[in-house]
Homo-oligomer: A and B are copies of this chain.
Amino acid sequence: MAKVTIVGAGSVVFAKRLITDILSFPELKNTTFSLTDINQERLGTAEKMALRIVEENGGYAKVEATLNRREALAGADYVLNLIQVGMHQSTLIDFEIPKKYGLKQTIADTLGVGGIFRALRTIPVLLDICRDMEEVCPNALLLNYTNPMAMLMHAVAKSSSIKSIGLCHSVQNTADDLASYLNIPVEELEYKVAGINHMAWFLELKRNGVDLYPELFKAMEKDDVFSKDKVRFEMMRRLNYFVTESSEHMSEYTPYFIKDEKLIEQFDIPIDEYVRRSERNLERFSETKDKIERGEAFHTEKSHEYGAPIIHSMETGTNRVIWGNVLNTNLITNLPADSCVEVPCLINKSGIQPCHVGDLPVQLAAMNRTNINVQQLVVEAVLTGNIDYVYQAVMMDPHTASVLSLEEMWSMTNELLLAHEEHLPKFTSGRNLIKKELVQ
Number of copies of this protein chain within its complex: 4
Judge whether B317 and A319 touch: CB under 8 Å: no
- Which A residues from 154 to 192 make CB contacts under 8 A with B? 190-192
Judge whether A329 and B350 touch: CB under 8 Å: no
Convert A411-440 into 0s and 1s, putting 1 for each residue whose CB lies closer than 8 angstroms to a CB of B. Answer: 000000000000000000001000000000
Chain B residues positioned under 8 Å from A392 (CB to CB) = 238-239, 362-363, 366
Known interface pairs A338-B334, A363-B389; A398-B395 also in contact (CB < 8 Å): no
Judge whether B362 and A377 touch: CB under 8 Å: yes
A319 contact from B256, B321, B330, Cβ within 8 A: B321
Bound Cα distance A37, B366 (Å): 37
Instruction: Using A329-B358, A334-B336 as known contacts, list a sample of 11 further A-B pairs with CB atoms less than 8 Å apart, ordered by residue number in A.
Output: A190-B349, A238-B410, A256-B406, A259-B402, A329-B330, A344-B346, A353-B355, A362-B377, A363-B389, A365-B376, A370-B373
- Which A residues from 228 to 278 make CB contacts under 8 A with B? 234, 238-240, 254-256, 259, 263
Bound Cα distance A350, B336 (Å): 24
- Which A residues from 328 to 374 make CB contacts under 8 A with B? 329-331, 333-334, 336, 338, 344, 346, 348-350, 353-356, 358, 362-363, 365-367, 369-370, 373-374
Chain B min CB distance to A67 (Å): 30
A356 contact from B338, B355, B398, Cβ within 8 A: B355
Chain B min CB distance to A322 (Å): 10
Centre residue among A206, A377, A406 by max chain B CB count within 10 A: A406
Closest to A400 in B: B255
Bound Cα distance A377, B370 (Å): 14
Judge whether A321 and B336 touch: CB under 8 Å: no
Judge whether B354 and A344 touch: CB under 8 Å: no
**Is A145 at the interface (CB under 8 A from chain B)?**
no
| Pairs of residues from A and B, 9 with the lowest C-beta to C-beta distance, nearest first | A330-B330, A366-B373, A353-B355, A402-B402, A363-B392, A346-B346, A255-B401, A190-B349, A319-B319
Judge whether A329 and B356 touch: CB under 8 Å: yes
A401 contact from B256, B334, B348, B350, Cβ within 8 A: B256
**Is A62 at the interface (CB under 8 A from chain B)?**
no
Chain B residues positioned under 8 Å from A405 (CB to CB) = 256, 263
**Is A388 at the interface (CB under 8 A from chain B)?**
yes
Judge whether B240 and A431 touch: CB under 8 Å: yes
Bound Cα distance A256, B402 (Å): 8
Chain B residues positioned under 8 Å from A398 (CB to CB) = 255, 398, 401
**Is A33 at the interface (CB under 8 A from chain B)?**
no
Convert A188-215 into 0s and 1s, putting 1 for each residue whose CB lies closer than 8 angstroms to a CB of B. Answer: 0011100000000000101000000000
Bound Cα distance A431, B240 (Å): 8
Closest to A266 in B: B405
**Is A47 at the interface (CB under 8 A from chain B)?**
no
Bound Cα distance A389, B398 (Å): 20
**Is A117 at the interface (CB under 8 A from chain B)?**
no
Bound Cα distance A334, B337 (Å): 8
Known interface pairs A373-B366, A373-B370, A402-B401; A321-B334 also in contact (CB < 8 Å): no
Judge whether B331 and A356 touch: CB under 8 Å: yes
**Is A320 at the interface (CB under 8 A from chain B)?**
yes
Bound Cα distance A134, B74 (Å): 38
Known interface pairs A238-B392, A363-B392, A405-B263; A190-B331 also in contact (CB < 8 Å): no
Bound Cα distance A9, B302 (Å): 48
Closest to A193 in B: B350
Chain B residues positioned under 8 Å from A402 (CB to CB) = 255, 259, 401-402
A240 contact from B238, B319, B388, B410, Cβ within 8 A: B388
**Is A391 at the interface (CB under 8 A from chain B)?**
yes
**Is A396 at the interface (CB under 8 A from chain B)?**
yes
Chain B residues positioned under 8 Å from A354 (CB to CB) = 355-356
Bound Cα distance A326, B158 (Å): 25
Chain B min CB distance to A433 (Å): 13
**Is A94 at the interface (CB under 8 A from chain B)?**
no
Chain B residues positioned under 8 Å from A363 (CB to CB) = 377, 388-389, 392, 395-396
